[in-house]
Amino acid sequence: MHNDASNYDADVTVDTDEQRVDGHTFERGYDLHDIGEAHCRQWLADIGLSVESWGIDMRDDQHVLGDDKMDLKAYETVLDDDRIVPASLRALVEVKVKSNDEWFGIINKHHFIKYLLQVHAHDVPAFIYMTVADEDDESITQETWIPIQEWDELQRVLDGNYDYYEPSAADQFLDDQIETHPQVDYIFRAPDGNIVVELDTDTGYTRAEVADMLVDETPTVAAATEVSDA
């Protein structure tokens, strides 16, 4: 286990639709997200994993809140008294869905920061399931699974071995230094005012490659898309 960064789990940020442009409301964003998440959940089930929602869905609130968790946890499954139940955590997954390929690979800077903290707080792979969705037929037209790479520089901060930054200031280190992360190609201010990072999508994996990483063999029993209650 890496130095625990889980104290960042409960942090919450607040945003509003006033910051969105060109009709990209939070509600539309959630509609797109639902398309991508449905495809993601189904595929994870197809390779024998069970899926647990982890991030907060706050679309019905007056404001949209975002915690520091990722969208999904994927578990290896076992049979227990003829029920499929989770056995061990295999991956963290964040679903990112775009309406066109112009923004493919681009995410908010503060989101990428929280993903890096989570990958350093867990001993499992973490991915951004980056997609482009067709809203009319709810299909996925482009996708890649971008691994969130652990960063030696961040681990030095978390271990207390970095000048000027204490372990409790890991988020400040990332805010200051994120543009030097090896997966970040570019950082800029989006039209809505948010600072965003463009990730190197060439580091992304195909479904077959991700399956090889997450499952030991082809499942013999169909997995549930949701984790059964223990």
Q: What is the pLDDT of residues 170-215, one digit of tens each?
A: 999 999 999 999 999 999 999 989 999 999 999 999 999 999 999 8
Residues 132-148: what's their mean pLDDT? 95
Confidence of residue 66 (pLDDT cuts 50, 70, 90): low
What is the amino acid identity at position 131? T
Please answer whether residues 26 and 20 qualify as being in contact, where contact means their C-beta atoms are separated by less than 8 angstroms: yes
- pLDDT reading at 3 higher than 60: no
In order of their start, the domains of the chain are 6-151+202-214 (3.40.1350.10)
Q: Enter the tokens of residue 89.
A: 């955590």
Report how far residue 29's alpha carbon sits from residue 228's, in angstroms, rounded to the nearest whole number: 29
The proportion of the chain whose per-residue pLDDT surpasses 90, expressed as a percent, equals 62
Higher confidence at residue 70 or residue 61? 70
Helices (H) and strands (E) in the chain, counts: 5, 10
Give the orientation angle of helix 170-177 with respect to helix 109-121, to 10 degrees.
Answer: 130
Report how far residue 158's alpha carbon sits from residue 42's, in angstroms, rounded to the nearest whole number: 35
* First-to-last C-alpha distance (Å) of the chain: 25
